[in-house]
Amino acid sequence: MGPWTHPLHRLALVALAWLLAALVAPAWAQSIESVLSPGKLIQGHAKWDEDCKACHVKFDRAAQDRLCMDCHKDIGADVRAKAGYHGRLKPQACNECHTDHKGRSAKIGAFDAKRFDHAQTDYLLRGKHVQTDCAKCHDAGKKWREAPSECNACHRKDDVHKGSLGPKCADCHTENNWKEAKFDHSKTRFALEGKHVDTKCGDCHRNKADYKDTPRTCIGCHRKDDDGAKGHKGQFGEKCESCHNAKAWKPATFNHDIDTRYVLKGKHRSAKCGDCHTGPLYKTKTATDCFSCHKKDDKHEGSLGKDCGACHTERDWKEKAKFDHDKTDFPLKGKHDEIKCDACHKSKLFKEAPKTCIGCHKKDDKHEATLGEACGDCHGERDWKTTKGRFDHDKTKFQLRNAHAAPKVKCDACHKDLKSFRKTATECVACHLKDDKHEAQLGRQCESCHTDRDWKVPGYDHNKTRYPLLGKHMKVACKDCHATPRYRDAPRDCYACHKKEDKHKLVFGTTCDSCHNARGWVIWDFDHDKRSRYRLEGKHRKVACEACHVKPAPAGKAFAALPSDCLSCHRKDDVHDGSFGMRCEQCHVADDWKKVSTRGLRSSAPPDRSRWLGWLQ
């Protein structure tokens, strides 16, 4: 071991160098550091041989890592993002792996490729990539991280598609085998179904260089099947999928009943496609009406239109028609359904047949056209002579109800002959004149009292007359007031009926209702204070009416006119012989004649002053 080669000697030398650096001038410091350098830097770092501070910071070993990543920016970015190989390693100093000062030719980035864990990188090795030599992907002279990660970078020579499918080889190929494709055809615009699943790619993709040019239509691959002896030779167009499917080209799956708007029935099922489809399908529209094919069979000369199926069937054109006459303007009912077609349709031009009853039944019209031509209003299809329940009389001006309704009243009871139905009178008296007990006194409006249920009046509303029934009058029998059916002869005054009840002997006249009311004859009330100009006071209230009203009342009056002075009734009680005049109420009161009050003397002067002064004394 030479001088200064022992570790202790080198440590002493370094300490001495630091001491000298602190003591001598700064200009010498860098040269001293160079002298004390442990060795030459690698070729890539050679420019910093004389500049230790480019990588080292005095008294701060951790700062060295920061300075490393300031230069190696891509690795620094990986460490900060925790991506790539360096970003996935556990935190450690850079010089743990990359130790410099070992000479210009030293390899401070060398590692054992066989033990290297590629999972720590951004590109995980799978399949055959695990066994692949590193040099096949990592080019010499380039950084390991610069190796491309897309398939096309390495397998461009293997791309038989010449880039037509893009650079995403992994969409189809796997790492296990380049020729083993895992392409999911269902994610394309042409999903594989039926026999297409087992078909080789090359059967459809003839040009490997451009898969996108492969046709997606059936005719693109199956034109030879359409042009063959049993093919359609293009007559049915290029939409093969309308009849054929991917399960098998034969037999055809076309269902005319479901796949079209024209269901095949009867002999149409045995007809060949070309019998109806004479022109190119999808270019020439095939008619769906019967008339287009069966015009020669139309015996009606087009008069019934082109809807032949309304009468004829697909089983046989000459088969008995299935025509539904109910769908026409003239539904067949009753006996009409039993007669033969030619009974009404004299020729094959069926629309010439009349639709009105009179057109066929004019000879049966017993009304001689007086009721018009709407025979169906009365007569039915079951029997011409049967009209029961057919004619709706309620639609006329005279509705039949209750006793008027059939079978109580027959038609000829009102209608005298078959030609006068429209001129029959509708007022009651026209039929019920013989039943009018009022001798026309109440007019011709019988319905105001009588109803069509029964001629007898069940409950006449007397309130609609000039004499409303009130009180006990409501319980009185009609005959008690109306002596005869000439009801208007009945009097309306009280006295006419209550003459026997008049105890006043006409003193109070005939206006009984002045005091009496309809609730009860004995219940009477006359308010003398409100209905006269003479108020009753004191004992006057207990005096009978006849005591004052002794003269008979004039016609139309309840009472005869009476004087209102006291002396008219109390002349016999006047002991003064008229010396004090006729105003007795100045001294006497109504409660008691003998009771004298002086209030009248104080308030008014008597006619003779000397007399009443003497009387007072």
Q: Which tens digits make up the pLDDT trace of 307-321? A: 887 788 888 877 666
Final residue before a domain boundary, out of 542, 562, 582: 562
Residue 512 CB neighbours (<10 A): 22
**Same domain for 557 and 584?**
no
> What is the token pair recorded at 310?
């309304």
Q: Is residue 554 domain-shared with residue 589, that is, in the same domain? A: no
CA atoms of 209 and 159, how far apart (whole Å): 8
b/e code 101-135 from CB counts within 10 Å (16+ = b): eeeeebebeeeeeeeeeeeebeeeeeeeeeeeeee
**pLDDT for res 451:** 84
Q: Please, is 311 exposed, middle or buried when counting C-beta atoms within 10 Å of its C-beta (0-12, 13-18, 19+)?
A: middle
Give residue-wise pLDDT tens across range 350-399: 777 888 888 888 888 888 778 878 888 788 888 877 776 667 788 888 88
Average of per-residue pLDDT values in the chain:
80
Regarding whether 531 and 589 lie in a shared domain, the answer is: no
Q: Which residues pair with 208 in a beta bridge?
A: none
Whether 508 and 554 share a structural domain: yes
Across 24-28, 238-242, 484-488, which has the greatest mean pLDDT?
484-488
- Classify residue 599: in a domain, yes or no: yes
User: Given this model, what pLDDT does residue 282 score?
Assistant: 64
- Could you tell me if 499 and 525 lie in one domain? yes
Shared domain check, 570 and 529: no
Q: Is residue 21 part of a domain?
A: no
Average pLDDT over residues 224-248: 79
Residues 558, 575 within the same domain = no
* Euclidean distance between CA atoms 451 and 461, whole angstroms: 13
Q: How many domains does the chain have?
A: 2
Is 540 a domain residue? yes
Range of the domain at 574: 566-617
Q: What is the pLDDT of residue 368?
A: 79
pLDDT tens figures, 423-444: 788 888 888 888 888 888 887 8
602 sits in which H/E element: helix 599-603
Q: Which residue has the higher pLDDT, 586 or 230?
A: 586
Q: How confident is the model at residue 616 (pLDDT cuts 50, 70, 90)?
A: very low
Instruction: Indicate whether 578 belongs to any domain.
Output: yes
- 570 occurs within a structural domain: yes
pLDDT band of residue 459 (cuts 50, 70, 90) is confident
Instruction: Kindly state whether residue 463 falls inside one of the protein's structural domains.
Output: no
Verify that 572 and 557 share a domain, yes or no: no
Exposed, middle or buried by CB within 10 Å (0-12, 13-18, 19+), for 141? exposed
Using the 8-state DSSP alphabet, how is residue 283 labeled? T
Whether residue 538 is found in the same domain as residue 518: yes
- Any domain includes 498: yes
Percent of the chain residues topping a pLDDT of 70: 88
By the 8 A CB rule, do 444 and 392 touch?
A: no
* Token pair for 602: 């104080």
The answer to whether residue 546 is domain-embedded is: yes
Top mean pLDDT of 67-76, 172-181, 506-515 is at 67-76
Instruction: Indicate the pTM of the whole model.
Output: 0.34
